[in-house]
Protein backbone atom coordinates (compact mmCIF):
# COMPACT_ATOMS: atom_id res chain seq x y z
CA UNK A 1 0.00 0.00 0.00
CA UNK A 2 1.52 3.26 -1.13
CA UNK A 3 0.43 6.32 0.85
CA UNK A 4 -0.06 9.23 -1.52
CA UNK A 5 -2.34 12.21 -1.87
CA UNK A 6 -5.89 10.96 -2.11
CA UNK A 7 -7.30 9.86 -5.43
CA UNK A 8 -10.82 8.64 -6.09
CA UNK A 9 -9.57 5.32 -7.44
CA UNK A 10 -7.87 4.35 -4.16
CA UNK A 11 -9.58 1.66 -2.08
CA UNK A 12 -8.69 3.57 1.08
CA UNK A 13 -9.04 7.15 2.29
CA UNK A 14 -7.98 9.46 5.12
CA UNK A 15 -9.28 11.42 8.05
CA UNK A 16 -7.29 14.58 8.75
CA UNK A 17 -7.09 15.95 12.25
CA UNK A 18 -8.05 14.84 15.71
CA UNK A 19 -11.85 14.83 15.83
CA UNK A 20 -12.63 12.99 12.59
CA UNK A 21 -9.93 10.46 13.50
CA UNK A 22 -11.50 9.86 16.91
CA UNK A 23 -14.91 9.37 15.28
CA UNK A 24 -13.35 6.96 12.79
CA UNK A 25 -11.89 4.90 15.64
CA UNK A 26 -15.13 4.95 17.60
CA UNK A 27 -17.67 4.28 14.86
CA UNK A 28 -15.81 2.50 12.03
CA UNK A 29 -13.02 0.73 13.84
CA UNK A 30 -13.17 -2.33 11.59
CA UNK A 31 -12.15 -0.22 8.60
CA UNK A 32 -9.08 1.39 10.17
CA UNK A 33 -5.75 0.38 8.62
CA UNK A 34 -3.50 2.52 10.78
CA UNK A 35 -3.01 5.91 12.35
CA UNK A 36 -0.07 8.18 11.60
CA UNK A 37 0.93 11.16 13.71
CA UNK A 38 3.57 13.83 13.83
CA UNK A 39 6.45 13.63 16.28
CA UNK A 40 5.75 16.95 18.04
CA UNK A 41 2.38 16.00 19.59
CA UNK A 42 3.39 15.52 23.20
CA UNK A 43 0.84 16.93 25.61
CA UNK A 44 -2.09 16.97 23.18
CA UNK A 45 -5.20 15.59 24.90
CA UNK A 46 -6.70 14.62 21.54
CA UNK A 47 -3.66 12.62 20.46
CA UNK A 48 -3.64 10.93 23.86
CA UNK A 49 -7.26 9.86 23.38
CA UNK A 50 -6.42 8.51 19.92
CA UNK A 51 -3.46 6.53 21.28
CA UNK A 52 -5.60 5.03 24.03
CA UNK A 53 -8.31 4.04 21.55
CA UNK A 54 -5.70 2.48 19.26
CA UNK A 55 -4.19 0.50 22.12
CA UNK A 56 -7.61 -0.87 23.09
CA UNK A 57 -8.35 -1.80 19.50
CA UNK A 58 -4.90 -3.15 18.63
CA UNK A 59 -4.33 -0.57 15.89
CA UNK A 60 -0.83 0.70 15.25
CA UNK A 61 0.16 4.36 15.54
CA UNK A 62 3.20 5.44 13.52
CA UNK A 63 5.18 8.63 13.61
CA UNK A 64 5.54 9.91 10.05
CA UNK A 65 5.99 13.66 9.75
CA UNK A 66 6.90 13.82 6.09
CA UNK A 67 4.13 11.49 5.03
CA UNK A 68 1.59 13.71 6.77
CA UNK A 69 2.95 16.80 5.08
CA UNK A 70 2.82 15.06 1.72
CA UNK A 71 -0.81 13.96 1.85
CA UNK A 72 -2.61 16.65 3.87
CA UNK A 73 -4.02 19.81 2.27
CA UNK A 74 -3.73 21.99 5.32
CA UNK A 75 -0.83 22.91 7.50
CA UNK A 76 -1.08 21.99 11.14
CA UNK A 77 -2.41 18.49 10.56
CA UNK A 78 -1.01 16.43 13.40
CA UNK A 79 -2.75 13.12 12.89
CA UNK A 80 -4.24 11.16 10.02
CA UNK A 81 -6.37 8.02 10.05
CA UNK A 82 -6.00 5.65 7.11
CA UNK A 83 -9.05 3.49 6.50
CA UNK A 84 -10.39 1.00 3.95
CA UNK A 85 -13.41 2.20 2.01
CA UNK A 86 -16.59 0.39 2.99
CA UNK A 87 -20.26 0.22 2.17
CA UNK A 88 -23.15 -0.48 4.52
CA UNK A 89 -26.53 -2.04 4.19
CA UNK A 90 -29.36 0.40 4.77
CA UNK A 91 -31.88 -0.33 7.51
CA UNK A 92 -35.19 -1.29 5.95
CA UNK A 93 -37.37 -0.10 8.82
CA UNK A 94 -35.70 3.34 9.10
CA UNK A 95 -36.31 6.54 7.14
CA UNK A 96 -33.85 7.21 4.32
CA UNK A 97 -32.43 10.11 2.42
CA UNK A 98 -31.93 9.37 -1.27
CA UNK A 99 -29.66 11.66 -3.30
CA UNK A 100 -29.73 11.30 -7.06
CA UNK A 101 -26.39 12.17 -8.67
CA UNK A 102 -25.18 14.71 -6.10
CA UNK A 103 -21.99 16.34 -7.40
CA UNK A 104 -20.95 19.02 -4.96
CA UNK A 105 -18.76 17.68 -2.17
CA UNK A 106 -19.44 20.63 0.13
CA UNK A 107 -23.19 20.01 -0.14
CA UNK A 108 -22.68 16.32 0.59
CA UNK A 109 -20.78 17.05 3.80
CA UNK A 110 -23.36 19.55 5.04
CA UNK A 111 -26.20 17.19 4.18
CA UNK A 112 -24.69 14.22 6.02
CA UNK A 113 -24.25 16.32 9.14
CA UNK A 114 -27.84 17.55 8.87
CA UNK A 115 -29.12 13.98 8.40
CA UNK A 116 -27.58 12.93 11.66
CA UNK A 117 -28.99 15.98 13.44
CA UNK A 118 -32.50 15.02 12.36
CA UNK A 119 -31.98 11.31 12.97
CA UNK A 120 -31.79 10.10 9.38
CA UNK A 121 -29.05 7.49 9.48
CA UNK A 122 -29.37 5.88 6.07
CA UNK A 123 -28.25 7.46 2.82
CA UNK A 124 -28.73 6.03 -0.67
CA UNK A 125 -26.64 7.51 -3.48
CA UNK A 126 -28.11 6.94 -6.91
CA UNK A 127 -26.12 6.96 -10.15
CA UNK A 128 -23.01 9.01 -10.76
CA UNK A 129 -22.37 10.71 -7.42
CA UNK A 130 -19.65 12.71 -5.74
CA UNK A 131 -17.07 10.56 -3.95
CA UNK A 132 -18.30 10.25 -0.38
CA UNK A 133 -14.82 9.17 0.73
CA UNK A 134 -13.04 12.20 -0.60
CA UNK A 135 -11.18 13.64 2.41
CA UNK A 136 -12.93 16.98 1.75
CA UNK A 137 -16.30 15.31 2.30
CA UNK A 138 -15.02 13.34 5.28
CA UNK A 139 -13.72 16.56 6.77
CA UNK A 140 -16.84 18.61 6.13
CA UNK A 141 -19.11 16.02 7.80
CA UNK A 142 -17.04 16.55 10.96
CA UNK A 143 -17.11 12.84 11.74
CA UNK A 144 -20.83 12.40 10.96
CA UNK A 145 -19.95 10.21 7.95
CA UNK A 146 -18.94 7.36 10.26
CA UNK A 147 -22.30 7.34 12.02
CA UNK A 148 -24.39 7.08 8.86
CA UNK A 149 -25.07 4.03 6.69
CA UNK A 150 -24.70 4.65 2.98
CA UNK A 151 -24.91 2.61 -0.15
CA UNK A 152 -24.53 3.25 -3.87
CA UNK A 153 -27.21 2.16 -6.35
CA UNK A 154 -26.98 2.12 -10.13
CA UNK A 155 -30.44 3.62 -10.51
CA UNK A 156 -33.61 4.39 -8.59
CA UNK A 157 -35.26 1.11 -9.67
CA UNK A 158 -32.52 -0.88 -8.01
CA UNK A 159 -33.01 1.11 -4.82
CA UNK A 160 -36.81 0.81 -4.89
CA UNK A 161 -36.75 -2.92 -5.45
CA UNK A 162 -34.75 -3.26 -2.22
CA UNK A 163 -37.17 -1.07 -0.22
CA UNK A 164 -40.70 -1.71 -1.53
CA UNK A 165 -41.97 -1.04 2.00
CA UNK A 166 -40.97 2.63 1.88
CA UNK A 167 -43.13 5.66 1.07
CA UNK A 168 -41.31 7.75 -1.51
CA UNK A 169 -41.27 11.55 -1.49
CA UNK A 170 -39.43 12.98 -4.50
CA UNK A 171 -38.76 16.71 -4.10
CA UNK A 172 -39.44 18.58 -7.32
CA UNK A 173 -39.97 22.22 -8.28
CA UNK A 174 -43.28 21.15 -9.84
CA UNK A 175 -44.13 18.60 -7.16
CA UNK A 176 -47.81 17.83 -6.60
CA UNK A 177 -48.09 18.68 -2.92
CA UNK A 178 -46.96 21.58 -0.73
CA UNK A 179 -44.58 20.15 1.87
CA UNK A 180 -46.63 21.75 4.65
CA UNK A 181 -49.55 19.53 3.75
CA UNK A 182 -47.63 16.28 3.46
CA UNK A 183 -48.05 13.67 6.18
CA UNK A 184 -44.80 11.77 5.93
CA UNK A 185 -45.52 8.04 6.33
CA UNK A 186 -42.95 5.78 7.98
CA UNK A 187 -40.62 4.38 6.90
CA UNK A 188 -40.07 6.91 4.14
CA UNK A 189 -37.50 7.97 1.57
CA UNK A 190 -36.89 11.66 0.94
CA UNK A 191 -35.56 11.89 -2.62
CA UNK A 192 -33.56 14.90 -3.82
CA UNK A 193 -32.14 15.49 -7.27
CA UNK A 194 -28.87 16.79 -8.64
CA UNK A 195 -27.74 20.40 -7.92
CA UNK A 196 -28.30 21.71 -11.41
CA UNK A 197 -30.89 19.41 -12.97
CA UNK A 198 -33.09 18.39 -10.03
CA UNK A 199 -35.08 15.19 -10.56
CA UNK A 200 -36.28 14.12 -14.01
CA UNK A 201 -40.01 14.20 -14.77
CA UNK A 202 -40.21 10.40 -14.41
CA UNK A 203 -40.03 10.91 -10.63
CA UNK A 204 -43.53 12.37 -10.78
CA UNK A 205 -44.78 8.79 -11.02
CA UNK A 206 -42.99 7.67 -7.89
CA UNK A 207 -44.81 8.05 -4.57
CA UNK A 208 -45.94 11.54 -3.56
CA UNK A 209 -44.01 14.36 -5.21
CA UNK A 210 -43.44 17.37 -2.96
CA UNK A 211 -42.53 21.02 -3.46
CA UNK A 212 -41.16 23.56 -0.99
CA UNK A 213 -43.00 26.82 -1.71
CA UNK A 214 -40.71 29.76 -2.41
CA UNK A 215 -40.92 33.10 -4.20
CA UNK A 216 -40.17 33.58 -7.88
CA UNK A 217 -37.07 35.69 -7.28
CA UNK A 218 -34.96 32.56 -7.18
CA UNK A 219 -35.06 29.62 -9.56
CA UNK A 220 -34.59 27.07 -6.81
CA UNK A 221 -33.25 26.61 -3.32
CA UNK A 222 -29.69 25.38 -2.86
CA UNK A 223 -29.64 21.56 -2.63
CA UNK A 224 -28.41 21.47 0.95
CA UNK A 225 -31.10 23.94 2.06
CA UNK A 226 -33.89 22.07 0.25
CA UNK A 227 -32.65 18.80 1.74
CA UNK A 228 -32.33 20.37 5.20
CA UNK A 229 -35.93 21.58 5.07
CA UNK A 230 -37.05 18.19 3.72
CA UNK A 231 -35.40 16.34 6.60
CA UNK A 232 -36.68 18.89 9.10
CA UNK A 233 -40.27 18.58 7.90
CA UNK A 234 -39.98 14.81 7.48
CA UNK A 235 -39.20 14.48 11.18
CA UNK A 236 -40.73 17.69 12.55
CA UNK A 237 -43.93 16.24 13.91
CA UNK A 238 -42.30 13.44 15.83
CA UNK A 239 -39.16 15.25 16.85
CA UNK A 240 -39.83 14.40 20.50
CA UNK A 241 -38.58 10.86 19.76
CA UNK A 242 -35.27 12.20 18.56
CA UNK A 243 -34.33 14.15 21.64
In terms of CB distance, is 37 or 113 closer to its own copies? 113
2 binding its own copies? (CB under 8 A): no
45 binding its own copies? (CB under 8 A): no
Q: 3-class secondary structure for the chain?
A: CCCCCCCCCCCEEEEECHHHHHHHHHHCHHHEEEEEECCCCCCCHHHHHHHHHHHHHCCCEEECHHHHHHHCCCCCCCEEEEEECCCCCCCCCCCEEEEECCCCHHHHHHHHHHHHHCCCCEEEEECCCCCCCCHHHHHHCCCHHHHCEEEEECCHHHHHHHCCCCEEEEECCCCCEEHHHCCCCCCEEEEECECCCECCHHHHHCCCCEECCCCCCCCCCCHHHHHHHHHHHHHHCCHHHCC
In terms of CB distance, is 138 or 212 closer to its own copies? 212
173 binding its own copies? (CB under 8 A): no
Find the binding residues for its own copies in span 55-114 (CB under 8 A): 106, 110, 113-114
In terms of CB distance, is 70 or 238 closer to its own copies? 238
18 binding its own copies? (CB under 8 A): no
The mark string for 134-153 relative to its own copies (x by CB under 8 A, - otherwise) is --------x-x--x------
Binding site for its own copies (CB under 8 A): 106, 110, 113-114, 116-119, 142, 144, 147, 180, 212-215, 217-219, 221-222, 224-225, 228-229, 232, 236, 239, 242-243
Amino acid sequence: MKIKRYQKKFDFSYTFGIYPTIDLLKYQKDSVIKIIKKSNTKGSEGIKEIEELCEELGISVEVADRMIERISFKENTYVIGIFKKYECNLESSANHLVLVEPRNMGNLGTIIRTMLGFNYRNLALIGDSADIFDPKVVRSTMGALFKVNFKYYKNIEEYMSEFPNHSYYPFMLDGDKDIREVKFEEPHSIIQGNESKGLGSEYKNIGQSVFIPHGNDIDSLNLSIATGIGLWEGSRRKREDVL
